[in-house]
Chain A
């Protein structure tokens, strides 16, 4: 029973990974790519590691898998925020059809005050 649940988690995780990487290739802009790929790949890898932990039961490898999952859950959003801020600061343009850029508006308001 636990093997079936674990393999379902692993397959869903691999599908999320593939969708995230397709988004990384197909989207037009740095920010869109970041949005698509970071969330999907984080969720997919966490599901995969939880599937491995469910299959191996109560053991040392399950504990290590859960530690890896928690570490990725903490570090991946920080890295994504740092990349987005760095890309915006280094002057990468938004896509032509992007609607709003709140960060630039906030910066100009701070400079005018």
Chain B
């Protein structure tokens, strides 16, 4: 059962990586980075369930905080910059 969930979340990660590599504009990549961070938090929760260890949730919380701060910084960076399209 948990293996199926691992495979599903891995598919999510690869779709996000596809969008990070392919995305035509910078906001596309920023969205994909945000989504990848949230998916990895879910992955850490699933690993905690599979192994019975507790510390994976600490990793998940730290990852969520860092992903959020990075996304906000990238969004503010985008706001102050113009594209010549």
Contact = CB atoms under 8 A, between A and B. Distances in A.
Given A68-B57, A85-B79, A22 B42 contact: no
Contact of A30 (B11, B31, B71): B31
Chain A interface size range: 35 or more
28 contacts: A10-B5, A14-B9, A15-B8, A21-B11, A22-B15, A34-B31, A38-B34, A41-B12, A45-B45, A48-B45, A49-B41, A49-B42, A55-B49, A61-B48, A64-B58, A64-B61, A65-B45, A68-B61, A72-B38, A75-B68, A78-B68, A79-B68, A79-B75, A82-B75, A83-B78, A87-B27, A90-B26, A91-B85
Residue among A15, A37, A38 facing the most chain B CB atoms (10 A cut-off):
A37
Interface of B: 1, 4-5, 8-9, 11-12, 15-16, 18-19, 25-28, 30-32, 34-35, 38-39, 41-42, 45-46, 48-49, 54, 57-58, 60-61, 64-65, 68, 71-72, 74-83, 85
Contacts of A72: 38, 41, 64
A42 B26 CA distance: 22
Interface in A68-89: 68, 71-72, 75-76, 78-80, 82-83, 85-87, 89
Main secondary structure of the interface of A (DSSP, over half): helix
Of A18, A67, A68, A78, most buried by chain B (CB within 10 Å of CB) is A68
